[in-house]
Amino acid sequence: MTPLEIVGTIFIVIGCVFALTGAVGVLRMPDFYTRLHPAGKSDTLAQGLILLGLALFAAQSLIATLGAAHGEGHGGEWIGPVNVILKLVLLTLLLFLTAPTATHAIAKAARLDRHTKIPVENDPGASRVAEIVVVGDIEDKLEEPIAKVLDVREDDRPAADDQQDADADNQERGDDDNNQDEETRS
Amino acid sequence: MICAPSLLALTSAEGADPAGASAVSYVVLVACLVLLVGGVLLLIRALRGPTVFDRILAINALGTKTVVLVALFAFLDFGHADPSFFLDTSIVYALINFVATIAILKYIQYRRLS
């Protein structure tokens, strides 16, 4: 094997390792949002490395045809390997653009879907990623752990009831004021 | 599967540069087998996925693997055949994979495609 083919083989082997670990990660990660991680990152890197290795094979073929063309004296054979290399580069750019975009779209669609409950494993400390909420759902801080948030809610419940009663009183007074205003206007 | 490398070695031994072509063919064949194993693992996740988004994620990753697999098929007999047609197929499959993923997500979210 020529040195270019050896380098391409190394790239392909590393890419295959990344592809296999990404597939195992998608199979064995505990919940959906952690499965996004190997599927989105390692697959992108794996296809980049494998297509780069194939491009190096094509470059070796290009060098071989260039040498043969110089020896025989007629050109034109180099257009085939250059075509292959350009198509591989186009494919790499295309996958580098579309694969993370598709992963992002999947993550956002899963987050915005209110009807599908993304299952988290039984241990609440296993992954808290699924507990991140859209702004406006609840008013708790996102960084606090789940148990702490629950304790805070238990302690704040009577205070919240008092606040609600106060709000209700204010609303009644506001209604009375409005009625008085209406009476004075009439 | 066992006879395939020997067949490749035989066909490449008849070519212009027998040693290099057979080595590249072996590397590409092993890469194809590894990607097929990864695709089987992703297919298990797609069949077992608790939510529909797990299935979409696994099928999207499987489509990316298929693109790379078709590009590897092009180089299986690199010294003898022109691999550019397989690469055309691969580019088209990458585009279809992306558009299909977005379309399925849109259909699930809005229950229609318009």
A112 near B CB under 8 A: yes
How many angstroms separate the Cα of B90 from the Cα of each of A88, A101, B87? 9, 19, 5
At B70 the pLDDT is: 93
Q: Do A103 and B57 touch (CB under 8 A)?
A: yes
Comparing CB atoms, the residue among A16, A51, A102 nearest residue B98 is A102
Q: Which of A87-91, B5-9, B20-24 has the highest mean pLDDT?
A: A87-91
Note whether A15 contacts B84, CB cutoff 8 Å.
Answer: no
Q: Which of A8, A11, A14, A10 is nearest to A61 (CA)?
A: A8
Q: Where are the beta strands (DSSP E) in chain A?
A: none
Chain A residues inside the 8 Å CB shell of B47: none
Query: What pLDDT, on a 0 to 100 scale, did the predictor assign at position A150?
Result: 47
Average pLDDT, chain B: 81
Residue B3 pLDDT greater than 90, yes or no: no
Q: What is the pLDDT along chain A (186 residues), one digit of tens a residue?
A: 788 889 999 999 999 999 999 999 999 988 888 889 898 889 899 999 999 999 999 888 888 888 776 666 566 777 888 888 999 999 999 999 999 999 999 988 887 776 555 555 554 444 444 454 455 544 444 454 555 444 444 444 455 455 555 555 555 554 444 544 444 554
Q: Is B30–A16 a contact, with Cβ atoms under 8 angstroms apart?
A: yes
Q: Is B111 left (phi over 0), alpha (psi -120 to 50) or beta?
A: left
Q: Which whole number is the average pLDDT over B83-91? A: 89
Over its C-alpha atoms, chain B yields an Rg (Å, rounded) of 18
Average pLDDT in the B85-92 region? Answer: 92
DSSP A122: S
How many Å separate Cα A142 from the centre of its chain?
19
Q: What is residue A129's DSSP assignment?
A: G
Longest dimension (CA), chain B: 58
CB-based contacts of B29, cutoff 8 Å, min separation 6? B4, B5, B8, B76
Q: Do B101 and A105 touch (CB under 8 A)?
A: yes
**pLDDT-above-70 percentage for chain B:** 80
Place of tokens 């992703």: B42
CA angle at residue A123 from A120 to A124, to 5 degrees?
A: 70
Inform me whether the C-beta atom of residue B55 falls under 8 Å from chain A C-beta atoms.
no
On chain A, the residues whose CB falls within 8 A of the CB of B65 are 19, 23, 43, 47
Rounded (to 5) percent helix, strand, coil in chain B: 80, 0, 20
What pLDDT shows up at residue B15? 44
Shortest distance between the Cα of B98 and any Cα of chain A, in A, equals 6
Interface pTM (ipTM) of the complex?
0.79
Backbone angles phi, psi at A122, to 5 degrees: -60, -35
